[in-house]
């Protein structure tokens, strides 16, 4: 059975006027005609016809296609009908270009003045430069806000370097594509301005391997980023990797509530939503640990220590990294707490770095560093039943990592 | 804010603007006019014409005067006429210069000061 329809990946990007014209013309010569509105999700749909000499031409779109455009960014009725008067049928839009075709080899060309065509290309170039500027400003602002928030290194220390690096690669890839497009449009514009018409029969096969290769790499990186990003999100939502404190077989490398007071220990929730430990390691950390503990400790004297201890523990792969993590942790808390941020006085604990402050919830928080180890702990106490002063629990925690 | 005049006037643009000297016209009338006037030497492609019309509207050389169905009719503005006359004057000067250049032929002893003898005797480029 002969196929009456086929789908192909275009061998050149949407802005490659000469390559697209040449490829579509070659497809027509083999009997495959581009279907009306045949471009969908990066593929082109062709229907079987008689092999014929069909001229395909790309005309610079006069306006940017909006997502909500009722006409999908098609050319104006006036332009379409004017072109139809000369046998040029509008087929589809791809990127910033309208695709027309003409089956009459005697019909006059769509564009007869290269220097006027250069004006139309210049409009597209200007639009794309605006897009590039918008993209740069947008990501620059996002980057600034993100860095100001102080979570970049922290995020990487929790998730590893792969996802942030993939994000950066995808972003750079998108910018690179746009720069490549601008470079091509600039070259084409210069050529047209010099009075040379586009090479409608350019050999599109020459660059297709490079184009497909780059496209495949970009797609792979993008999909990998999506999959890993979703996996991370899923792990967070499903609380993957969390172990109930009662089931944790190891001993944490820092002091916990049991070390704060002696007595009968009772977990408040015994629920992995609130009380858990999770451990990980990645390119930045030899080991990381999140410790969330809510408990009552009934002392022999009848008083009770009641509260919650939240510890983020980082054993970084270098001291330099540990310094950065400690600084980012403090900065992130300061940005989050805004006006609630309040530095607290602390006696010298004999460590390389120490800081104490009230965080966004007004809970006392410690950031301690010794060598490659960073310990960030927030401890809140409820009730007025003999609370432990900050100096005391800070000293216990400091001793535990010394 | 005054609109920026075009820094380019190609032959197609010049003939397109010329088509409006006798009154308002629509797209197909312009192509027919130019083809007839130039006896087929200058043919305007529809894509080229559409770009020219848009550009002229943008810089204020043309204005739309009516729209009947798909047919839009445009007319020349004062700015458009001025631009046409400036280009016409430039071309007239070119012709004058070309004619004067012929009078500088060496056999007539007319090589002006500062003009190289070889350059003066070189054949004129085709217009």
Same domain, A147 and A199: yes
Question: For A112, which of B8, B43, B70 is closest by C-beta distance?
Answer: B43
| A86 chain-B contacts, CB cut-off 8 A | 45-46
SS3 A303: coil
Same domain, A53 and A183: no
Q: Is residue A109 part of a domain?
A: no
Confidence of residue B126 (pLDDT cuts 50, 70, 90): very low
pLDDT given at position A386: 73
pLDDT given at position A155: 82
Among candidate residues A102, A136, A166, the one where a domain is terminated:
A102
Least confident of A67-76, A156-165, A219-228, B63-72: A67-76
Q: What is the mean pLDDT of residues B92-106?
A: 84
Domain ranges, residue A86:
5-102
Q: How far is B72 from chain A (nearest CA, A)?
A: 8
Same domain, A124 and A223: yes
Q: How many CB pairs under 8 A join A and B?
A: 66
Among candidate residues A206, A237, A268, the one where a domain is terminated:
A237
> Quick one: DSSP state of residue B16?
H
Confidence of residue B123 (pLDDT cuts 50, 70, 90): low
A385 compared with B90, residue with greater pLDDT:
B90
The tally of CA atoms less than 13 A away on the side-chain side of residue B109 is 0
Give pTM, 2 decimals.
0.76
Same domain, A232 and A247: no
* Cα-to-chain-centroid distance, residue B79: 15
Q: How far is A99 from chain B (nearest CA, A)?
A: 12
The tally of CA atoms less than 13 A away on the side-chain side of residue A78 is 18
> What pLDDT digit, counting tens, does each position of B17-73 carry?
999 999 999 888 999 999 999 999 999 999 999 999 999 999 999 999 988 877 889
DSSP string covering B75-102: EE-HHHHHHHHHHHHHHHHHHHHHHHHH
A342 near B CB under 8 A: no
pLDDT over 70 at B117, yes or no: no
pLDDT over 60 at B118, yes or no: no
Question: For A82, which of B8, B11, B46 is closest by C-beta distance?
Answer: B46
Q: Please say whether the beta carbons of A358 and A337 come within 8 A.
A: yes
Same domain, A252 and A396: yes
Q: Count helices and strands (H / E) in chain A.
A: 9, 15
User: Cβ neighbours of residue B36 under 8 Å, at least 6 residues apart?
Assistant: none
**Three-point CA angle A37, A201, A77, nearest 5°:** 35
Q: Is residue A70 part of a domain?
A: yes
Same domain, A229 and A257: no
> What pLDDT digit, counting tens, does each position of A76-135 carry?
888 888 899 899 999 999 888 999 999 998 899 999 999 999 999 999 999 999 999 998
pLDDT given at position A338: 85
Confidence of residue A33 (pLDDT cuts 50, 70, 90): very high
Same domain, A253 and A216: no
pLDDT over 80 at A334, yes or no: yes
pLDDT given at position B125: 47
Among candidate residues A102, A123, A147, the one where a domain is terminated:
A102
Above pLDDT 70, what percent of chain A?
97
A55 near B CB under 8 A: no
A98: left (phi over 0), alpha (psi -120 to 50) or beta: beta
Which of B9, B31, B45, B70 is the best mutation test for A, with the most CBs of A within 10 A? B45
pLDDT given at position B101: 86
pLDDT over 60 at A336, yes or no: yes
B64 near A CB under 8 A: no
Rounded to whole angstroms, the Cα distance separating A152 from A147 reads 6
User: Cβ neighbours of residue A120 under 8 Å, at least 6 residues apart?
Assistant: A59, A60, A62, B47, B51
**Cross-strand pairs, A90:** A100
Least confident of A163-177, A229-243, B45-59, B70-84: A229-243
Rounded to whole angstroms, the Cα distance separating A22 from A30 reads 13
pLDDT given at position A357: 95
pLDDT given at position A66: 61
Q: Please say whether the beta carbons of B25 and B65 come within 8 A.
A: no
Instruction: Give B11-104's CATH code, choosing from 1.10.357.10, 1.10.3720.10, 1.10.10.10, 3.20.20.70.
Output: 1.10.10.10
Rounded to whole angstroms, the Cα distance separating A269 from B113 reads 105
pLDDT over 50 at A183, yes or no: yes
First to last CA, chain B: 38
Question: For A86, which of B8, B46, B54 is closest by C-beta distance?
Answer: B46
> What pLDDT digit, counting tens, does each position of A61-78 carry?
877 766 566 566 788 888
Handedness of CA A254, A259, A264, A268 (dihedral sign): negative
Rounded to whole angstroms, the Cα distance separating A56 from A362 reads 68
First to last CA, chain A: 78
pLDDT given at position A397: 95
Same domain, A94 and A171: no
Question: For B45, which of A79, A81, A111 is closest by C-beta distance?
Answer: A111
Q: Which helix (H) or strand (E) segment is B17 a member of?
A: helix B11-18
Q: ipTM beyond 0.90?
A: no
> What pLDDT digit, counting tens, does each position of A44-54 carry?
999 998 999 99
Q: Return mean pLDDT, chain A.
A: 89
pLDDT over 60 at B11, yes or no: yes
Q: Is residue A108 part of a domain?
A: no
A107 near B CB under 8 A: no
pLDDT given at position A74: 83
Same domain, A97 and A156: no
C-alpha dihedral, B58 to B61 to B66 to B71, nearest 10°: -70
Q: Per-domain residue ranges for chain B?
A: 11-104
| B44 chain-A contacts, CB cut-off 8 A | 112-113
pLDDT over 50 at B127, yes or no: no
pLDDT over 50 at B120, yes or no: no
> What pLDDT digit, counting tens, does each position of A91-103 carry?
999 888 999 999 9
Q: Could you give phi then psi for residue A90, rounded to 5 degrees?
A: -75, 130
User: Per the structure, how many domains does chain A have?
Assistant: 3
Q: Return mean pLDDT, chain B.
A: 82
Confidence of residue A400 (pLDDT cuts 50, 70, 90): very high
Same domain, A365 and A264: yes
Q: Please say whether the beta carbons of A307 and A361 come within 8 A.
A: no
Smallest Cα–Cα separation from A211: which of A19, A17, A7?
A19
pLDDT given at position A69: 62
Same domain, A53 and A168: no
B51 near A CB under 8 A: yes
pLDDT over 80 at A150, yes or no: no
Same domain, A257 and A362: yes
């Amino acid at each position: 059975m002969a196929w009456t329809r086929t789908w192909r990946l275009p061998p050149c990007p949407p802005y490659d006027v000469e390559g697209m014209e040449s490829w579509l013309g070659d497809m027509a010569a083999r009997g495959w005609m581009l279907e009306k509105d045949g471009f969908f999700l990066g593929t082109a749909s062709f229907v079987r016809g008689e092999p014929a000499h069909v001229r395909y031409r790309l005309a610079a779109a006069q306006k940017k296609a909006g997502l909500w455009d009722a006409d999908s960014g098609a050319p104006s009725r006036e332009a379409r009908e004017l072109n139809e008067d000369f046998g040029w049928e509008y087929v589809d839009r791809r990127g910033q270009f309208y695709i027309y075709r003409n089956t009459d080899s005697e019909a006059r060309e769509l564009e007869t003045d290269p220097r006027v065509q250069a004006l139309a290309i210049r409009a597209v170039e200007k639009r794309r430069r605006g897009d590039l500027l918008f993209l740069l400003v947008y990501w620059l602002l996002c980057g600034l806000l993100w860095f100001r928030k102080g979570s970049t290194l922290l995020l990487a220390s929790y998730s590893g370097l792969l996802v942030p690096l993939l994000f950066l690669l995808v972003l750079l890839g998108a910018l690179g594509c746009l720069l490549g497009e601008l470079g091509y449009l600039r070259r084409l514009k210069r050529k047209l301005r010099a009075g040379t018409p586009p090479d409608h029969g350019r050999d599109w096969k020459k660059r297709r391997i490079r184009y497909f290769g780059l496209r495949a790499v970009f797609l792979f990186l993008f999909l990998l980023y999506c999959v890993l990003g979703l996996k991370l999100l899923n792990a967070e939502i499903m609380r993957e990797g969390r172990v109930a404190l009662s089931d944790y077989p190891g001993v944490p490398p820092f002091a916990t509530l049991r070390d704060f007071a002696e007595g009968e220990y009772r977990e408040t929730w015994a629920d992995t939503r609130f009380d858990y430990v999770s451990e990980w390691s990645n390119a930045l950390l030899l080991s990381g640990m999140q410790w969330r503990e809510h408990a009552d400790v009934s002392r022999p004297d009848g008083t009770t220590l009641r509260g919650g201890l939240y510890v983020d523990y980082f054993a970084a792969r270098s001291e330099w990294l540990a310094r950065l993590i400690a600084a980012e942790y403090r900065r992130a808390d300061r940005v989050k707490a805004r006006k609630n941020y309040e530095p607290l006085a602390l006696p010298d604990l004999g460590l390389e770095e120490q800081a104490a402050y009230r965080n966004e919830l007004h809970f006392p928080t410690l950031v301690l560093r010794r060598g490659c180890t960073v310990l960030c702990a927030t401890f809140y106490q409820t009730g007025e039943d003999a609370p432990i002063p900050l100096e005391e629990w800070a000293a216990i925690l400091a001793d535990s990592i010394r | 804010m005054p609109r920026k005049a075009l820094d380019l006037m190609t032959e197609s643009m010049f003939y397109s603007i010329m088509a409006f000297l006798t009154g308002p016209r629509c797209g197909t009338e312009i192509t027919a006019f130019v083809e007839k006037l130039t006896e087929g030497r200058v043919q305007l492609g529809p894509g080229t014409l559409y770009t020219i019309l848009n550009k002229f509207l943008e810089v204020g050389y043309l204005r739309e005067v009516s729209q009947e169905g798909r047919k839009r009719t445009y007319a020349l503005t004062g700015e458009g006429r001025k631009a046409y006359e400036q280009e016409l004057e430039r071309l007239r000067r070119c012709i004058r210069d070309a004619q004067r250049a012929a009078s500088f032929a060496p056999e007539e002893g007319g090589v002006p000061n500062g003009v190289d003898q070889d350059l003066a005797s070189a054949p004129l480029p085709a217009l």
